[in-house]
Every structure is written in structure tokens, then in C-alpha cells.
Amino acid sequence: MTALTRPIRVVFNTREKGYRSKTWTASAGIFTLMAGDAVRYSIGWLGWGAVLLVLLSISMVLFFKNQPSNTFREIPWPLWAALGWMALSTIWSAYPSITALATVSQIATTAFALFLVGLFSWRHLLRVFANVIRFILGASLIFEFVAAAIVQGPIAPIFKNYSGEKPPAAAFYWTQGNLFDGERIQGIVGNSNLLAFVAMLGVVTFAVEYAIIGTKRWVSALCILASVTTMLLAKSAGIGFAMTAIVIAAIVSIAAEGKEREVRHKYYRVAWAFAGTVGVIVLFFRATVFEFFGKSPDMTGRSGIWKLVLGLIEQRPVFGWGWTSHWMPGVEPYEGLVVINNVPYYQAHNAYLDITLQLGFIGAAIFGILFLTTFIKLWRLAVRHTVALYLWPILIFMGLAVWSLTESRILIEIGWVLLALFVVKVNQPEEMLEPRGRSPKRVRLLSFRQRKNQI
């Protein structure tokens, strides 16, 4: 491997002041938001809220000690507009007290994202997310093994999320112990779709970690294998589509780096044409595709949910019903709106419909601008920089954007943290990035593969 293709090795200064405190705070916060049900099922909603409050307080103390003005200047106007429109929706909300509470929660989650933006480099963020995801996936596989091999049945939450002695439906169990049955597993996060999402984050994170030598390569390779295995066991159609988008984005962004504008745009046109073709094929052969994931042709009732949501949007199209992020139980018009197999659902299972439902067409337009401008900036960063590290944000963003067609979790917890993190951090000045190499990413990747084949 020549100097031209040798990866740039960046070593952390773990002895810098505040390194451990900020790293542990970030890790605990990301875990609590990524595996929220694991915490809620273990110590209850009050305990979960108390943990979040403590972590938010610590993160804000650390954040305001480190020149927060720089981070505030990097917040783009669409994010300010989105948060402001959420707050304004309290005025016309059908549930003003809930909207006010949800807006405060959204601002608090955004504040934690700003803490990550201000105190961590992209490489340090990758390491923190990688370690948290490693723990969640490892614990999930062990948890599923215990349920299937030792308990030999479902495990209910320690703190119930239902009334009565027994869960009213299988979905209320922490895990159903399906590891050896061929059915979907749930892991410690208590939800198959969310577990698949964490596994998707793992595939991207560990692949980038492997490419930049973020840790020993055999560790990253083993974690990629665990992520793929978990994703297959969780069987999420939405994540399957998201992974397809991630793979396409990775191929195109790596191929386009260093090419002339005309060539790059040719690649982009081919990619969009391919994506459109895949979409049409899935539409016409959806029964076969969804059967592979164990889903019905309407993706387990999602089309029915979307029709109900569209009906509510028609009633308040311009301003919406008021911000609530995740639908709140007991609040009209959401209580009892969607109940499938005795399980109530409190989201539209489509983030874009949920935004329009709650904030109207005006709010949807603000979010549309936010998503589009962020995508363009992240894409430019990935294509123009020679370090594979900067593939991480655009690939995660693409996965989130596509997954949001079937889930609304980008609006809450770790989904919103990731969105706000990317929206703000991509605006940081060039000098805060790692030095560029003298060759495109694909040259180093091909060089490594050729060298490996010669051994």
C-alpha cells in the first residue's frame, strides 16, 4: 500500500480535559434514546424520565462550558422554523397542553443533539454510536437466546405497559422468544422494527469504522456480521427498503467522487432511474415482496392507517391538528383511531404524513426544505471529501429518510437526535474536518482489496 492510498489514521487524545465525562454522558444519552423501551420496561416511565432529565442536565452543563455560540450559529433557519412552527401550533392545536409539552420535549431532544454537535468530532461521534450499537445488538441477541433457550417463552416487561395480569396481546411482551421459531425477534428494544433499525445503523457504522480503521478490523467485521444477522432475524420490510437506498447511495457517492460534474450527474440520473424502477417493481409485486418479510400486501395494515390519517389531514390541511410527535394515548382524535389485533397504534407509520397531520401543509413545506437542504449538504460532504468517515452521515440520513415512509420514529427520540445532529453539524467550517487524502476513497478501497488478494 503506497503513501497515496494509505488511510489517514487519527488517534484520539483520551487524556484531554472532559473527554471521559462527555463520552460517558453521550453514550448513556444515546442508549436511553435508542433503546427507550429497554429502560422503560426496566425502571418504568418515571425512571426513564428521571434518567433523561439527569443526562440532559449534565449534557447542557458540559455544552455551555464549551463556547455554545459557535454551535448556535451553525443552526440553519429551517430547523429554527420547524421548532418555531411546532411552538406556534399550540395556538390552534386541538390539544394545546399536549402540544406545549411535546414542543418542550422536542426542544430538549434538540438540545442534546446540539451537545453532540458542539463537543464531538465526526470520528468521535462514530466511535460513540458504534459502542452503543455494539452493546444493544449484543445484549439483544443474548436476551433472545435466554428467552428461547432458558425461559422457553415470552418475557413480559418488569414495569407493565398494559393493565391486568397478562398482556392483552403478544405485542405487549418485552420479547416473545422467537429466536428458534423463525418468527421475528424484538431484542432488548422490545420492537422488531426498532431492532432492525438499530441493526441498520450498525451495518453502516461498522462498515465505515472498518474503512477508517476506527478499531481493530476483526472487531468491526464481526459487528457487521452481527448487525446483518440481527436485521434478518428482525424481518423489517421498511428497513429492507432503507438498506437498498443506503447501498445505492454508497455506490453512487463513492463512484462520483473526483469525477467531472457531467459524469457525476450522469451517475445520479442512472441511480434515480434504478430507484424508480425498483419502486415500480415493488408496487406491482408487493404481495411477493412483503410475503418475504412476513408482511401482508398492505404492510400489516399500514394502508388502512394512512387512509385514516389522510382523512384527518383533509379536516385541517393548512395548519394541522397541533404538534404531538408521537400520538398521545387518551387524546382525541388519536385515541382508538388505529387498533389492530387488540393493539393500539400511536403513529401514522409514515413520518411525512405525520408531519402534515400535525403541522399542516405549511409545516410539511418547512420540513421539506429542511430535508432537501440537509441532503444536498451531506451529499456534497460525502462526495467531495476523500475520507470514508464522511459517508457515515449521508448513509444514515438516507436510511432514515426511506425508513420514514413506513415509520414515524424520525420525529422522536434517537431519530430526531440523528436528524438534528446532521442538520446542524454539516454546517461546520471546513477547518473542523479531517485533512483530505491525496486519492479518492475508491482508490484506497480497491488498493486494500487487491493487497488482501495478494496475501
Reported as a single tens digit per residue, the pLDDT across 365-381 is: 999 999 999 999 999 99
Mean pLDDT confidence for 87-99: 96
pLDDT of residue 222: 96
Does the structure show a pLDDT above 60 at 140? yes
SS3 327: coil
What's the average model confidence in pLDDT over 96-125?
A: 96
Residue with cell 484531554: 16
Rounded Cα distance between 389 and 377, Å, is 15
95: left (phi over 0), alpha (psi -120 to 50) or beta: beta
Cite the DSSP H helix spans in 66-191: 68-73, 77-88, 96-119, 122-145
pLDDT digits (tens, 9 = 90+) for 208-231: 999 888 788 899 999 999 999 999
**439 or 223, greater pLDDT:** 223
Average pLDDT of the residues in 102-130: 96
- Please, are residues 366 and 84 in contact by the beta-carbon 8 Å criterion? no
Provide the grid cell at 321: 391538528
Q: Which residue has the higher pLDDT, 1 or 85?
A: 85
Q: Per-residue pLDDT for 297 more than 60? A: no
Identify the pLDDT of residue 265.
76
Q: For all residues of the chain together, what is the average pLDDT?
A: 88
164: pLDDT strictly greater than 80:
no
Q: What percent of the chain has pLDDT over 90?
A: 60
Residues 441-453 pLDDT 10s: 767 666 555 444 4
Peptide bond into 435 cis (omega under 30): no
Distance CA 245, CA 266 (A): 18
For residue 114, the model assigns a pLDDT of 97
Q: What is the pLDDT of residue 322?
A: 96
pLDDT score of 5 more than 80: no
At position 332, the amino acid (one-letter code) is E
Beta strands in 9-128 (DSSP E): none
